[in-house]
Amino acid sequence: MAFFIASSPHTHIRKNTPELMKWVALAALPGLLTQTYFFGWGTLIQLVLAFVIAGSYESLVMLLRKRSPHAALRDYSVFVTAWLLAVAIPPLSPWWMLVIGLFFAVVVAKQLYGGLGQNPFNPAMIGYIVLLISFPLQMTSWLAPQVLNPNHISLYDAWSLIFTGFDSDGYSLQQVRTGIDGITMATPLDAFKTAIKTGVTSAEALELPPFSSFAGIGWEWVNLAYLAGGLILIKVRVIQWHIPAGILGGLLVASGLGYILAPDTLANPVLHLLSGATMLGAFFIATDPVTASTTVKGRLIFGAMIGLMVFMIRSWGGFPDGVAFSVLLANMTVPLIDHYTKPRTYGH
C-alpha cells in the first residue's frame, strides 16, 4: 500500500475534491433557480460566462506554470469560484466585470499563492470586493424582482444588456431600471439603509415596495433556497455545521440586541437573516475549507465573528451588505484562531 502525504485541507469523509465540488454545485442549484425566477435570465447568462472566463484563466495559468490544465480543471474548484461570483453580482452587469473580477479571483487570489489549498483568502470574495470598490454603480444596479416588474426582460434582452449595454428597443440598463417608480434602485438592505437616513423609522421603512411581510420580496425566497441547499451539504457531510451556526447565531444575537436597543433605526433579525447574501455566505462562502478555521472551537469563533461583522457593516458601514468584507477579515484571523483553539493532544 502507498502512503500519501498531502497538505491541508484534510477531510474525514470518503469524497475527493471533484465530488465535494459537485455536491456544492448541486446544493446551490435551488438558490440559483430561485434567483433566476425572481431576477431574470441574466443570472444564468452570467453563470455560463463566468464558467468560460474562469476556465480560460485557470488553463492559461497552468500552461504558464508548465502544468496540465486538465488536471487543474477536473477538480472543479475554479467553477465553484465562478459560480459564487456570478450569483453575487447584479444579473445584468456588463460582461467585462466578470473578466476583471475573475482575474483577481482566479489568477491573483488563487494561483499567485500556489493554487488550490494555498490561498489565504476566499478567491470569489476577493473578486467581488475588487468589483464593488472599483465599480460601485454597476455593482448596485439590481433590478426589482420580476414579480414587481411589469416590463418583463426576455432572454434576448438580458443577453443584449449584458454584452452591448442596451436592450432590443435601444434602452440602456439605467433607463430600464428607472422605468419602475420607486422600486428599481437597490436591494432591500440598501433601501432600508437609505430610508433610515431620510429620517423614517424601521417600521415605516419596511412598508416600502421592496419589502414583504418578512424581508425583501424575492430575496427572502432566495435565502431560504440557499438555506435548504446548505442543510443538504451538512446532511451529506460536505461541510460541518459549526461555521453556519456561528454566522447565523452571531448575526441573530447581534441584530436581536440591536433591535431591542434601537428599534427605530436598526433592522430586525428576520430582515438580516433573509436578505442579501446571508445564507449564501453562511453555507457556501465562509465554509471554504482552505480559508476557514480548522478546529471545532475555531469554526464557531470564526463564524460568530463573521456574523457580528455583517451586522456592524450593515448597520453602520458604508455598504448595504457586509458578507464579503466580513469573510475576508475573518480569513485574516484564521491562523490566530487555530493557534489558540488547538485541541489538547491525547494523553496531555
Average per-residue pLDDT for the chain: 89
Secondary structure string (H, E, C) spanning the chain: CCCCCCCCCCCCCCCCHHHHHHHHHHHHHHHHHHHHHHHCCHHHHHHHHHHHHHHHHHHHHHHHCCCCHHHHHCCCHHHHHHHHHHHHCCCCCCHHHHHHHHHHHHHHCCHHHCCCCCCCCCHHHHHHHHHHHHCHHHHCCCCCCHHHCCCCCCHHHHHHHHHHCECCCCCEHHHHHCCCCCCCCCCHHHHHHHHHHCCCCHHHHCCCCCECCCCECCHHHHHHHHHHHHHHHHHCCCCCCHHHHHHHHHHHHHHHHHHHHCCCCCCCHHHHHCCCCHHHHHHHHCCCCCCCCCCHHHHHHHHHHHHHHHHHHHHHCCCCCCHHHHHHHHHHHHHHHHHHCCCCCCCC
Average confidence (pLDDT) over 64-69: 90
Q: Binning pLDDT at 50, 70 and 90, where does residue 116 land?
A: confident
Per cent of the chain over pLDDT 70 is 91
pLDDT score, position 170:
84
Q: Binning pLDDT at 50, 70 and 90, where does residue 182 land?
A: very low
Q: Is the pLDDT of residue 8 over 70?
A: no
Q: Is the pLDDT of residue 66 over 70?
A: yes
Same domain, 195 and 291: yes
Nearest to 310 by CA among 290, 292, 324: 324
Q: Binning pLDDT at 50, 70 and 90, where does residue 9 land?
A: low
Same domain, 322 and 220: yes
Same domain, 166 and 197: no
Average confidence (pLDDT) over 110-125: 92
pLDDT score, position 141:
83
Q: Is the pLDDT of residue 53 over 90?
A: yes
Same domain, 27 and 171: yes
Could you read off the pLDDT of 123-156 as tens digits, one per residue? 999 999 999 999 998 898 888 787 776 677 889 9
Count: domains in the chain? 2
First to last CA, the chain: 32
Residue 146 included in any domain: yes
pLDDT score, position 268:
92
Same domain, 257 and 122: no
Q: Find the helix packing angle between 77-88 and 95-102, rounded to 10°.
A: 130
Could you read off the pLDDT of 298-332 as tens digits, one per residue? 999 999 999 999 999 999 998 888 999 999 999 99
Same domain, 166 and 207: no
pLDDT score, position 98:
97
Could you read off the pLDDT of 211-268 as tens digits, one per residue? 876 788 889 999 999 999 999 999 999 999 999 999 999 999 999 999 999 999 999 9
Average confidence (pLDDT) over 32-44: 94
Residue 3 included in any domain: no
Q: Is the pLDDT of residue 184 over 60?
A: no
Q: Binning pLDDT at 50, 70 and 90, where does residue 333 land?
A: very high
Residue 255 included in any domain: yes
Range of 245's domain? 187-336
Same domain, 227 and 171: no
pLDDT score, position 95:
96
Same domain, 224 and 106: no
Q: Is the pLDDT of residue 272 over 90?
A: yes
CA-based torsion, 160, 161, 163, 168: positive or negative: positive
Residue 331 included in any domain: yes
Same domain, 177 and 222: no
Average confidence (pLDDT) over 265-286: 94
Domain boundary (132, 161, 186) is at 186
Same domain, 156 and 237: no
pTM greater than 0.85 (yes/no): yes
Same domain, 81 and 122: yes
Q: Binning pLDDT at 50, 70 and 90, where does residue 14 land?
A: low
Q: Is the pLDDT of residue 1 over 70?
A: no
Residue 197 included in any domain: yes
Residue 346 included in any domain: no
Domain boundary (186, 202, 217) is at 186
Residue 4 included in any domain: no
Q: Binning pLDDT at 50, 70 and 90, where does residue 5 land?
A: low
Residue 343 included in any domain: no
Same domain, 32 and 42: yes
